[in-house]
Chain A
């Protein structure tokens, strides 16, 4: 059974995690961790609760260049933030599909990324929005793109003795749009069978984030602008972008079903994202 430690400083948290090594786990929302403890799929000897740490990055900071989100910022807070809603609509759509209201009131965006489920709902939009993570240890801070950060199922660059202290999201380019689409068996409290986030640039440049179709959340970018009003052109672009997907068959869907629905959802996400470009023009 684990010990529980609630440090008040980042230095104490990092020291405790460094000492515990593989046997230590940071705790924020606990919405995955406690399930793992109950089923003994996770058996840490030390839980380091970060919610009492006073010198971690602030929960959210908005600048001209983007948004920084701290380790303790919950999905419930995220979806209610007006700047996040305006700049990162795909992320808000995705976060709103996570669990339920009660789960989102506890679950943290940063911890959701660290958990590195291949089906994590917030991962595809974070990949689309170009998220970077800051990883802290006793030896200092380093940063990585989220695409580099995800190594495999439940595996990330954040190793023993380390903490992800924040996620940085650059401000989307002017005239771009984003959207998220997901397939589940039921509306509330289920994991994605397939999920896709799309970003569309002003010129038709495409980026996709994909969940539950590979060992980790996947990102793919078009080599150039795509003429979205040309169905054949979009089809060809999707052929290339979706080629990275290697879904498996499991209780939520077969490999074939996932590949078929991925394509449909990706096309819908791209068109929805394209519609969100230049919202001022559309409103007039």
Chain B
């Protein structure tokens, strides 16, 4: 190994990444996930920790604009990258998507909702007019134990219509 500056062990490694538009520097061990880094080091608890193995989607964030499970990314892998969490979807207040989640009554216990919202936002950015099957596919990695799927799908449909009308 020649570039020992990139090599870390149990000692903390300094990671600089952009979170919700701001550059942040955290010190983490190599095995710390991005999920835990965001919650515990950056101080953004909106991203939820649930299964911690990529099954439930509660920890979904955007990494360089793409939806990923932050429990399956090491914090050190995010060095130099851009992360958007649910807190960063709007500068202030709720997004139209979050409003439609409320309008549709899609939020029951609420635990899965940050992940649902980020996954749905990713869908709408990559496919502004999804049909129902596409919405269900896009959210198939986001589990809701309250089983509020119908209303979640309706909220995404309403947002797509709202954004379509605004264009």
- A positions within 8 Å CB-CB of B: 1-8, 12, 15-16, 19, 27, 29-31, 34-35, 37-39, 47, 49, 51, 76, 99-103, 105-106, 187-189
Contact = CB atoms under 8 A, between A and B. Distances in A.
A31 B72 contact: yes
B52 interface: yes
Contacts of B79: 6
Given A3-B7, A12-B2, A38-B53, 13 more contacts: A1-B10, A1-B29, A1-B30, A4-B76, A5-B1, A6-B76, A31-B54, A99-B54, A100-B54, A105-B63, A106-B72, A189-B140, A189-B143
13 contacts: A2-B30, A4-B74, A16-B1, A30-B74, A31-B72, A34-B72, A35-B54, A51-B77, A100-B142, A103-B72, A106-B73, A188-B141, A189-B56
Contact of B141 (A16, A34, A99): A99
Nearest to A103: B54
A7 B72 contact: no
A186 to B, nearest CB: 9
B30 A30 contact: no
B117 interface: no
Contact of A2 (B2, B31, B137, B140): B31
Given A101-B122, A188-B141, A6 B6 contact: yes
Interface of B: 1-3, 6-10, 13, 29-31, 33, 52-57, 60, 63, 66-69, 71-74, 76-77, 79, 119, 122-123, 137-138, 140-143
A3 B119 contact: no
Binding site of A, secondary structure by majority: helix, strand, loop or mixed? mixed
Contacts of A102: 54, 57, 60, 67-69, 119, 141
Contact of B31 (A37, A76, A99): A37
B13 A4 contact: yes
Interface centre among A2, A34, A37, A38 (most CB of B within 10 A): A34
B57 A100 contact: yes
Contacts of B1: 5, 7, 12, 15-16, 19
A30 B63 CA distance: 14
A1 B31 contact: yes
A30 B78 CA distance: 13
A189 B74 CA distance: 21
A43 B52 CA distance: 17
B8 A187 contact: no
A45 B160 CA distance: 47
A243 to B, nearest CB: 35
B141 A100 contact: yes
Contacts of A27: 74, 77
Contacts of B10: 1
B7 A5 contact: yes
A49 B53 CA distance: 19
